[in-house]
Chains A and B, each alone.
Chain A
């Protein structure tokens, strides 16, 4: 597709379960970002991948959160032992290279932890 694709668009899970969120960036974009937006909050940075460099994981809120990017393309964000405070919209974005700052966002994955 032409844009950033995220799946699932909606996920409802029970507290304690693991979830995986997928992001398919725009082809050729070397930078990939995960942000989340909790209800009434701004965009919170989670993790940033740039080419083959080590990812910037400084935004991950706990060790229950991890992400990988395979082959420089698709990325998966994994949340283990989900908690209710993990409920948010998880947004993925990509950019052509790190210096433009212009990110292209997907529509997000809405996670609800019951």
Chain B
């Protein structure tokens, strides 16, 4: 039972353009959502999060949007840079319990 889904395994974007990574979830009890970034041979690193009481959170080039009615969140990266090339995982939790991760989206930012 995949409670957090990232349906696009890969995404290719040109440098300077917007990258949009999507994530869907099924568990309505999830109240906290996060995005992690992972480079090869490294552990994932925290990128940005959003609480279910908000619908948007922004941090520099990164913005996360939450649509609770659609059980959908997205990560926008503007402008995309080659160093953003990595695997991006979305994750969700309920009342501070364990994080449930999606399967990841490989982002490639091309010059």
- Which residues of A pack against B, CB within 8 Å? 4, 33, 35, 41-45, 48, 56, 59, 91, 93, 98-108
A101 touching B103, Cβ below 8 Å: no
B43 touching A105, Cβ below 8 Å: yes
B46 touching A42, Cβ below 8 Å: no
B96 touching A108, Cβ below 8 Å: no
Task: Give the distance to chain B from A20, nearest Cβ to Cβ, in Å.
Answer: 19
Task: Give the distance to chain B from A89, nearest Cβ to Cβ, in Å.
Answer: 9
| Interface residue SS majority, chain A | loop
- Across the interface, name the chain B residue whose C-beta is closest to A9: B41
Per CB-CB distance, the 5 closest pairs between chain A and chain B, nearest first, are A105-B43, A42-B103, A43-B101, A99-B96, A98-B96
* Interface bits B76-111 vs A (CB < 8 Å: 1, else 0): 000000000000010101001111111110000000
Task: Give the distance to chain A from B46, nearest Cβ to Cβ, in Å.
Answer: 5
Task: Give the distance to chain B from A49, nearest Cβ to Cβ, in Å.
Answer: 10
Q: How many residues of B contact A (CB 8 A)?
A: 23
- Across the interface, name the chain B residue whose C-beta is closest to A44: B101
A45 touching B99, Cβ below 8 Å: yes
A107: B residues at CB distance < 8 A: 41-43
B22: A residues at CB distance < 8 A: none
B34: A residues at CB distance < 8 A: 101-102
B97 touching A105, Cβ below 8 Å: no
Give A106 to B41 CA distance when docked, in angstroms.
Answer: 10
Give A27 to B65 CA distance when docked, in angstroms.
Answer: 33
Give A45 to B6 CA distance when docked, in angstroms.
Answer: 16
7 pairs of residues in contact across A and B, judged by CB atoms under 8 Å: A4-B43, A33-B98, A42-B89, A43-B44, A93-B43, A98-B96, A103-B44
A101 touching B43, Cβ below 8 Å: no
A102: B residues at CB distance < 8 A: 34, 46, 49
A105 touching B104, Cβ below 8 Å: no
Task: Give the distance to chain B from A32, nearest Cβ to Cβ, in Å.
Answer: 11
Task: Give the distance to chain B from A64, nearest Cβ to Cβ, in Å.
Answer: 21
